[in-house]
Amino acid sequence: MLALRSGPDNCWWAFEVNEQVMVLSPSGDPAQGVVLGAINQQRFPAQGDRPDVHRTVYADGAVIEYDRAAHHLEAILPSGGTTKLVSDGGIAIIGDVTVTGHIKASGDITDHTRSMQADRNIYNSHTHSGVKSGGSSTASPNESQ
């Protein structure tokens, strides 16, 4: 099989049963041939027609697409899909971030002022002066957040 890359950087993606391919047999013997690549067909049509888009559609419905004209990268996983990104040197996100859903962290979360743990420490140990019984309000906390 002809590979996109086959050196230290290596790419593997096996062809599947019923996928139409092109075979080059310089000696005339198909057993000595090399699969050059897949050919779109009615059963498995091309997944796009825009020259600026690199798009991979997987059999389970997942899609990874990059549009170089729009500078847009998108990965869509089927329901229940998971994503894991491992980078022990750190990850930098430059730009605004929108999250729809919950965020869970095993470490501390910090903004430009202090960490959430530091805020909890202030909240859990802060006191108020001028406390009176009844319907009066207390004074501001003795330690600001």
Instruction: Give the model confidence (pLDDT) of 19-42 as tens digits.
Output: 899 999 999 998 999 988 888 888
> Mean of the pLDDT values across residues 133-142?
72
Domain assignment present for residue 76? The answer is yes
Residue 142, in any domain of the structure? no
Does residue 28 belong to any structural domain of this protein? yes
* Residue 60 resides in a domain: yes
> Do 19 and 58 reside in the same domain of the chain?
no
Residues 40 and 53 in one domain: no
Tokens of 47: 């997944």
Q: What is the CB-side half-sphere exposure of residue 115 using CA atoms within 13 A?
A: 7
Question: Is pLDDT at 126 greater than 90 in this prediction?
Answer: no
Q: Are residues 4 and 28 in the same domain?
A: yes
Q: Do 26 and 36 reside in the same domain of the chain? A: yes
Residue 8 belongs to what domain range?
1-45
DSSP string covering 13-68: ----TT--EEEE-TTS-GGG-EEEEE---SSS--S---TTEEEEE-TTS-EEEEET
**Residue 127 in domain:** no
27 and 56 part of one domain: no
The model's pLDDT over 40-80, given as tens digits with 9 standing for 90+, comes to 888 888 888 899 999 999 999 999 999 999 999 999 999 99
Q: How many domains does the chain have?
A: 2
